[in-house]
Amino acid sequence: MATGTNIRTYFNGAWHAGDIPVINAADHGAWLGSGVFDGARYVNGAVPDLLAHCQRVNRSAEALMVTPTVTAEDMVQIVWDGLRAYAKDTAVYIRPMYWGIDGDATAILPSAAKTGFAICLEEIPMAPETASVSLGKTQFRRPVLESSVVNAKAGCLYPNNARMLREVRARGFQNALVTDAMGNVAESATANVFMVKDGEVFTPIANGTFLAGITRARHMTHLRADGTKVHETVLSFADFEAADEVFLSGNMNKVTPVVGFEDTSYQVGPVTRRVRDMYWDWAHSE
C-alpha cells in the first residue's frame, strides 16, 4: 500500500529503489495476518525516538509470536543508511515491519524458524501547522488483550480502526473518539488523545486496550518538565465535552489540534501550541 512517493525498500540485506514485492501469497503474514510494523519520522534531518520505535517493533513481533531477527540498534543503522538518499528537508515516513512466513502443522501458529523483515521509506509531507480535526462518536470500541493482540502494533488490528473512520466520516467528522470495552475514552481511531482543563493536561490511563504511544510519553515528559500537571486517568465523553482544549498525539504528525467533538467546539489553545513547540525544539536539539 503506497501512501507516499519516492519509496525505498530494505529487503534481504539491501536497499532497493521503489515499492518492491517482499511477501509471498503463501506467507503466514499474507494468509493469516501475522504482520507487525512501527513508524518513525524523518523531518529536517532528525528522526525523533528512532531507537524506541525499533525496539517496539521487536516487542510487537514477540507479542504476535513472530521471531524478531534484527536488533533495534542494527535497525537504526539500516534506517540511517537508507535515509542518505533523501534531502535533509524531505519528510519521510519510516516503517520497519515483520511477518510470519511458515506455520505449524495447523497453519495457525507462525513458525519461529523463519521471519520476513523489511523497512519501507516513503516521502510523506508533514501536515501544515494549521491542520486540525473534528471528532465524532463511533459504535466500535477498542478490543481487550483477551481477544486481540492489543500489546502489539499489528496490522490485524487496523480494520477495526478503519470501521471507526468510515462511520464518523459518513457523518462529516474526520476522526473518531473511541472508548474501551467499559465505555471509557481510550484514544482516537488513529492516535492517542489529550485534553486540557483549567491549564492541566489529562490523557486516558494506559489500561492495555490501546498502545500508549512513544510520542505520547514524550509529550508528557516535556509538559511535566515545563511545570504543567499531567494526569493519566479514566476519562469519559463528558470530560471531553467540558474540556478547554483537545489534541491528538501520534507519530505521523506529532501534534494535531482538535477543533470539535460532536456538538462541542474548541479553540486551538496555548497548551496545544506549547506542546508542539516543545516537541520540535527537543527533536531538533537531539
2, pLDDT greater than 70: no
Among 3-7, 91-95, 156-160, the least confident range: 3-7
pLDDT of residue 99: 98
Give this prediction's pTM: 0.95
Sign of CA dihedral 204, 207, 209, 215: positive
Alpha-carbon gap, residue 39 to 19, rounded angstroms: 17
Alpha-carbon gap, residue 65 to 49, rounded angstroms: 25
286, pLDDT greater than 80: no
DSSP 219-283: HHHHHHHTT--EEEE---HHHHHT-SEEEEE-TTTS-EEEEEETTEE----HHHHHHHHHHHHHH
With bands split at pLDDT 50, 70 and 90, how would you rate the model's confidence at 43? very high
pLDDT of residue 4: 86
Alpha-carbon gap, residue 273 to 255, rounded angstroms: 9
**C-alpha cell read off for 280:** 520540535
**C-alpha cell read off for 150:** 492489543
Q: Which residues contact 218 (CB under 8 A, 6 or more apart)?
A: 48, 49, 279, 282
**C-alpha cell read off for 93:** 515516513
Q: Return the amino acid letter for 250.
A: G
197, pLDDT greater than 80: yes
Could you read off the pLDDT of 81-110 as tens digits, one per residue?
999 999 999 999 999 999 999 999 999 999
Produce one character per residue of 181-207: b if its CB has 16 or more CB atoms within 10 Å, e if not: eeebbbbbbbbbbbbbeeeebbbbeeb
Could you read off the pLDDT of 101-140 as tens digits, one per residue?
999 999 999 999 999 999 999 999 999 989 999 999 999 9
Angle at 55 (CA atoms; ends 51, 60), nearest 5 degrees: 145
Where does residue 1 rank: exposed (0-12), middle (13-18), buried (19+ CB within 10 A)?
exposed
With bands split at pLDDT 50, 70 and 90, how would you rate the model's confidence at 50? very high
CB 68 within 8 A of CB 36: no
pLDDT of residue 1: 52
| Mean confidence (pLDDT) of the chain | 96
